[in-house]
Structure 1
Amino acid sequence: MYKGISLFLAFLLASHVLCLAQVPGFFMKEEKRKVTIPFLASNSLIIIPVSINGNTPINFLVDTGVRSNILFSKKLGDALELEYTRRIKLVGADGTDDIMASVSPINHFDLGPVEGIFQSLLVLEQEFLELESVIGVPVYGIIGYEFFKYNPVKINYDNGEIDFYKSSELKWKPLFYKELEMTIFDNKPYITTTVRQKDGSFLYPKLLIDTGANHGLLLNRETTDAITMPPLFIESALGQSLGGVLYGYIGRIDYMKFADFKLDEVLTSYPEETPFSYVIKDSGRFGSLGAEVLGRTKLIFDYPRSRLLVRKAANFYNPFEYDMSGMALKKIPNDDNRIYVSEIRPGSPAQRAGVQAFDEILTLNLVPTFIWELGEINKLLRSEAGKQITIEIRRYEGDDLTKYEDHTFTFSLKKQI
Structure 2
Amino acid sequence: TDLVAYLARRIRFDIPDKVSAPREDILVLQEDYFRFEEYAGIDVHGILSANAFSKYIIRINYDRRIITLYDRESFKIREDGYEPIPIEVYRNKIYMNSRFYLRPDSIAPIKLLIDTGAGLPLLMFSNTHPLVHPPDNAITTNIGMGLGGYLEGFTGRVFQLDLGKFSEKNIVTYFQTLDSTMNEEYLHGRNGLIGNTLLGRFSVIFDYQNSTMWLKPARNFRNEFVYDRSGLIVIATGPGFGKFVVQGVIDNSPAAEADIRKGDEIKRIGIAPAAFLSLGDVQRIFQKKPGKKVKIIIKRDGKRMKKRIVLRDLI
Look up the match of 1:415.
313
What does the per-residue CA deviation read over 1:233-283, in whole Å, with 9 as the maximum and x for residues that have no partner?
Answer: 001110124553221111111111113111110011111222554437850
1:118 counterpart residue number:
23
Q: 1:134, 1:246 → 2: CA distance? A: 13
* Contact kept? 1:325, 1:382, Cα under 8 Å: yes
Alpha-carbon contact 1:326-1:351 (below 8 Å) kept: yes
Give the structure 1 partner of residue 10 of structure 2: 106
Q: Is residue 262 of structure 1 aligned with residue 262 of structure 2?
A: no
What corresponds to 2:209 in structure 1?
Answer: 304
Match of 1:178 among 83, 87, 96: 83
TM superposition shift of 1:173 = 5.3
Shift of 1:127: 2.5
8 Å CA contact retained: 1:177, 1:309 = yes
**Counterparts of 1:117 and 1:222, CA distance in 2:** 41
- From the superposition, tell whether residues 129 and 232 of structure 1 become closer, same or farther in structure 2 (CA, over 3 Å): closer
Match of 1:330 in 2: 235
Distance across 1 between alignment mates of 2:299 and 2:221: 38
How does the TM-score come out when normalised to structure 2?
0.94
Does residue 339 of the first structure (1) align with residue 237 of the second (2)?
no
TM-score by length of 1: 0.72
What fraction of aligned residue pairs are identical, expressed as a percent? 28
> What is the 5 A alignment of 1:89-238?
97-112=1-16, 113-128=18-33, 130-170=35-75, 172=77, 174-198=79-103, 200-238=105-143
CA RMSD of aligned residues (A): 1.7
Change in Cα spacing, 1:232 to 1:372, as seen in structure 2 (3 Å) is same
The answer to whether the Cα contact below 8 Å between 2:34 and 2:146 also exists between their aligned partners in 1 is no
Counterpart Cα distance in 2 of 1:186 and 1:336? 34
CA distance in 1 between partners of 2:30 and 2:177 (Å): 27
- The answer on whether the counterparts of 2:34 and 2:145 sit within 8 Å (CA) in structure 1 is no
Aligned residue pairs: how many?
A: 314
Question: 2:225 is paired with a residue of what secondary structure?
Answer: coil
Structure 1: which amino acid aligns with 2:208? Y
Distance 2:77 2:171 in 1: 31
Larger radius of gyration: 1
Gaps of 5+ in 2: none
Indicate how the Cα distance of structure 1 residues 242 and 145 shifts in structure 2: closer, same or farther if over 3 A, else same: farther
Distance 1:242 1:299, change over 3 A: farther
Q: Over residues 3-53 of structure 1, what are the superposed CA-to-partner deviations in whole Å (9 max), with x where a residue is unaligned? A: xxxxxxxxxxxxxxxxxxxxxxxxxxxxxxxxxxxxxxxxxxxxxxxxxxx
Instruction: Indicate the structure with greater strand content.
Output: 2
